[in-house]
Structure 1
Amino acid sequence: MPGVTSSSPASGLLELPRIRTTLPAACSKVGRPKAQGHTKAKAGECDESASSARGMSPPPQVDPEAGKRRCSWITANSESLYVAFHDEEWGVPVHDDRKLFELLTLSQALAELTWPVILSKREEFRAMVDGFYDASLGEFTDKKKMNQLPKSNGTRLLSEQKMRAVITNAKQIRKVVHEFGSFSNYCWSFVNHRPVTNGFRYARQVPSKTPKSEAMSKDMMRRGFRCVGPTTIYSFMQAAGIVNDHLPCCFRFDQVCRQAKVDEKDLRAERRSSSSSSEDSEIRGCN
């Protein structure tokens, strides 16, 4: 719901499992900023929620119209945008640099907003991300320029700290592209260019971070990225399909697995074609 911040009640909505998300409906929502008095984040990190699942997970939800069984954090009260994100995007392998940057930004926003609120502001976020991705970013350095950034309902989409992080990260992505050929190559290198399928039976088993997300987070911080703690990065990996954390009972689990195999086959063919073209160019250059 537009205008709702993470300090507002969750209205019965549960988060996708960026941090062991499946909580009983009576529990507080996931994605709430840390209370005052928390320890200061290290360089490159921003506050990340530290909630964890407690008790038994609710049973998987079944769509009464289509008979579709979904992951248990999608409930009968979940907003339609949230359900559509689960059904169509979450966990699907992404290799487009612009889309990866968008998903990274949305994952960073989870420290301040919930998925339903973020998705309700999707177009504003997308306009902001596209502007940073395409434009020369050197001018966005002072507070006056920050105040000119896109807003929603008259207020800034994110805190100034997060806004500055988005600007910084856009700059760092350009450096990564120069080194790795694409931001996609960089992100997927942490899983050997093959999505990780965990197959957790219960949502309470889904971790808040993994050794791979910690490794990626540490490397991104070293490169100058901001607000990229391991929990944020794991949420990003889930959303971008680098990790498939749909529960096996969910109808999307097998669909995402099949899509990942098709994408992997296409990428291998693309690499072979690119390699052959390079070899042909070298041969022509020697003749």
Structure 2
Amino acid sequence: MSAPSRVRSVDSSSDREFRSVLVPAGNNKPVKKTDKTKDLTFTAKKKSSPPLSPSILRRNGVSMNASYSSEASSSCESSPLSMASTSSGKRALRRNGSNTSSALRRNLTEERDEKAGGDCFFSDGRKRCAWITPKSDQRYIAFHDEEWGVPVHDDKKLFELLSLSGALAELSWKDILSKRQSFREVFMDFDPIAITELTNKKITSPEIATTPLLSDQKLRSILENANQVRKIIVEFGSFDKYIWNFVNQKPTQSQFRYPRQVPVKTSKAEFISKDLVRRGFRSVSPTVIYSFMQTSGLTNDHLVSCFRHQECISKDQTG
């Protein structure tokens, strides 16, 4: 749910690489300057201060085009800046001058991110991560609600999630989840022992070709990875024990408030990726591995406002 997948927090660290693509930007339609707008810049000495114009805010380093656009969408998908989010910024500028411009930019960005998920109401009344909306595919919502972030310790399930995360190079989570049953049928429920008995010829047979899943290269990488998982099971006793050793058998509990704080990879993902590549695994880039860590519960990246954040912590403590 890299899915999916595309600042500083309580849990931030220097090894995280941040992204801001999870929340679409607002309407960037430029604000047309008028003589009236220009005149407003010379009314600061008047007793009743008029509203600050977009041009004034731009001079202080803040672009409010999205807020002032009459065409800005109010849907959960577009998550534009709202007019309400500018009121505190205006007061701050009048009180402290241009020195508050950086703080204002930060506050507006945070309010934008919060509204990205905060205005999305589900029929069950529960709040979810901002990248899940009532308009999302039902399989994707179920995946978020039931699997994403839950600690997994079954070898077959772990290998399935690793393989599906690798498929993100060619498919979205929506497409992957829609073809999930087909993946399970082709790859023997992702039993790494059973998969090693398959051959490239069987994977590319006409029967399987009628239900295209991935490119031949990606299909063969799953076969090769199954062989490597089998070796790991012999060496460590289970794939579960091997992979959870990287986090000391304890999931990382993130404390992200905003979508832009969620990384696409970490130094831990890079370390795991390098070890897997050294062992002969394919299609296991740091980005793929971090997506796998999210889906298998090695890290809990649900936003703190999401109802699943605390539930995943509880599952870790009781599991």
TM-score of the pair, normalised by structure 1: 0.71
Please point out which of 196, 204, 208 is paired with 1:137. Answer: 196
Partner of 2:73: none
Partner of 1:41: none
Partner of 2:203: 146
Partner of 1:22: 22
The Cα offsets for residues 146-169 of structure 1, whole Å up to 9 and x where unpaired, read as 3228637x2421111111110000
**Hey, what's the Cα distance between the residues in 2 that align with 1:89 and 1:69?**
16
**Hey, what's the Cα distance between the residues in 2 that align with 1:168 and 1:61?**
45
For residues 139-218 of structure 1, the aligned pairs below 5 Å read 140-141=199-200, 144-148=201-205, 151=208, 154-218=210-274
Amino acid at match of 1:140: T
Displacement of 1:132 in angstroms is 5.8
**Hey, what's the Cα distance between the residues in 1 that align with 2:218 and 2:26?**
30
Does 2:314 align with 1:255? no
Aligned to 2:169, the other structure's residue is in SS state coil
Partner of 2:123: 65
Q: Is the CA contact (8 Å cut-off) linking 2:159 and 2:190 kept in structure 1?
A: no
For residues 110-125 of structure 1, the aligned pairs below 5 Å read 110-125=168-183
Aligned to 1:126, the other structure's residue is in SS state helix
Partner of 1:236: 292
* Structure number with bigger Rg: 2
Does 2:139 align with 1:81? yes
Amino acid at match of 2:208: K
Counterparts in 2 of 1:87 and 1:131: CA distance versus 1, 3 Å: closer
The Cα offsets for residues 234-264 of structure 1, whole Å up to 9 and x where unpaired, read as 000000000100000000000000000111x
Displacement of 1:122 in angstroms is 1.1
Q: Is the CA contact (8 Å cut-off) linking 1:62 and 1:68 kept in structure 2?
A: no
In terms of mean alpha carbon deviation, does 15-24 or 218-227 score higher? 15-24
Unaligned runs of 5+ in 2: 7-18, 28-108
Partner of 2:154: 96
**Hey, what's the Cα distance between the residues in 2 that align with 1:113 and 1:147?**
19
Amino acid at match of 1:214: E
Which one has a larger percent helix, Structure 1 or Structure 2?
2
**Hey, what's the Cα distance between the residues in 2 that align with 1:259 and 1:169?**
29
**Hey, what's the Cα distance between the residues in 1 that align with 2:145 and 2:240?**
23
**Hey, what's the Cα distance between the residues in 2 that align with 1:138 and 1:64?**
45
Q: Is the CA contact (8 Å cut-off) linking 1:79 and 1:116 kept in structure 2?
A: yes
**Hey, what's the Cα distance between the residues in 1 that align with 2:26 and 2:253?**
30
Unaligned runs of 5+ in 1: 1-13, 28-54, 264-287
Q: Is the CA contact (8 Å cut-off) linking 1:22 and 1:203 kept in structure 2?
A: yes
Counterparts in 2 of 1:150 and 1:167: CA distance versus 1, 3 Å: farther
How many equivalent pairs are there?
221
Displacement of 1:15 in angstroms is 5.3
Amino acid at match of 2:167: A
Q: Is the CA contact (8 Å cut-off) linking 1:150 and 1:157 kept in structure 2?
A: no
Partner of 2:35: none
Displacement of 1:84 in angstroms is 0.4
Q: Is the CA contact (8 Å cut-off) linking 2:117 and 2:133 kept in structure 1?
A: no
Aligned to 2:187, the other structure's residue is in SS state helix
The Cα offsets for residues 113-165 of structure 1, whole Å up to 9 and x where unpaired, read as 11111111110112233266342625514xx433228637x242111111111
Aligned to 1:110, the other structure's residue is in SS state helix
TM-score of the pair, normalised by structure 2: 0.64
Partner of 1:3: none
Counterparts in 2 of 1:65 and 1:201: CA distance versus 1, 3 Å: same
Aligned to 2:282, the other structure's residue is in SS state coil
